[in-house]
Amino acid sequence: MAFWSVHCLILRFLCRVSNANSSPSSIVVTSSTPGTSQSLPSLSSCTFRPLVRIRALHNPAATLWTNIVNIGMGILVLYETSQPASATWAILLLRYSIPWISVAVSLNAILTLMIVLRLFLGSRNVRAVTGSPSQISGLYVAVATMFIESCALYTVNSLVLLGLWVTNSDVAGAFIIILSEIQVCDSPRLRPPG
């Protein structure tokens, strides 16, 4: 109950912040005569609603809790692997690393899905408002943007790592070694305006 109430409070706070940020940025065109201004219709009145609404994918605050669980699992794995005289560290790693990798993969998969969904629907709305036809180059830019912005490379790498790690394969060493570098490769990217 307490968990749910804190969740609702955070969600309400974030929604208020977003409304406060978005209200002054509505498009206003000032006409040549001073004193009169004419506001264009907002983009949100022209949006297409998706046919299937998955509730978790429209709730960004859900990722906050997954992120907190991810940090907790990381602390647990770090604590257990740094215990002295753990010559049988493989047992510890097998015990605590599978939950940690699972949480990290699920967090990144949820984030990727949410960002891709928002970018796809947002670009469709903008295309519908501006009326520009979708061409090959536009499609390429859209797909590349979705891949880069949503950290899809890291998610695919983590999914492969999870499968190899659970089956106790040797090749998992290759993927866990490039994990942190791929995260850094994905992170420095263009931020959306505003």
Partner 1 sequence: MAAILYGMYKTRQSTRPLICAHFRFIIGIVIVMFFQCMAGLLSPLHYRRDGVKWGVISYTLAIFSSVTVSTAMTLNIESISYIDNRNFPGVEGILPPGPYGFRTSIYSDALSIPPNVMFFLNNWLADGFLVSSLFDIAFSLPGF
Binding site for partner 1 (CB under 8 A): 14, 17-18, 21-22, 42-44, 47-49, 58, 60, 63-64, 67, 70-71, 74-75, 77-78, 81-91, 104, 107-108, 111, 114-115, 118-119, 121-122, 125, 149, 151, 154, 168, 170-171, 173-174, 177-188, 191-194
Beta bridge partners of 29: 38
CB of 3 to partner 1, least distance (A): 18
| Assigned token pair, 13 | 């706070």
Q: Which is nearer to partner 1, 24 or 192 (CB)?
A: 192
CB of 165 to partner 1, least distance (A): 13
CB of 77 to partner 1, least distance (A): 7
* Residue showing tokens 């065109």: 29
| Assigned token pair, 100 | 């940690």
CB of 34 to partner 1, least distance (A): 27
Q: Which is nearer to partner 1, 86 or 134 (CB)?
A: 86
Q: Which is nearer to partner 1, 31 or 53 (CB)?
A: 53
CB of 17 to partner 1, least distance (A): 8
Q: Which is nearer to partner 1, 67 or 102 (CB)?
A: 67
* Residue showing tokens 């943007």: 145
Q: Which is nearer to partner 1, 86 or 132 (CB)?
A: 86
* Residue showing tokens 């263009």: 190
Cα gap 75→69, rounded to integer Å = 10
CB of 131 to partner 1, least distance (A): 17
Q: Which is nearer to partner 1, 121 or 166 (CB)?
A: 121
Count CB-CB contacts under 10 A for residue 158. Answer: 25
- Give the closest residue to 190 by CA, choosing from 147, 153, 156: 147
DSSP-derived secondary structure letter, 60: T
Q: Is 45 helix (H, G, I), strand (E, B) or coil?
A: helix
With b for 16 or more beta-carbon neighbours within 10 A and e for fewer, the 5-31 pattern comes to eeeeeeeeeeeeeeeeeeeeeeeeeee
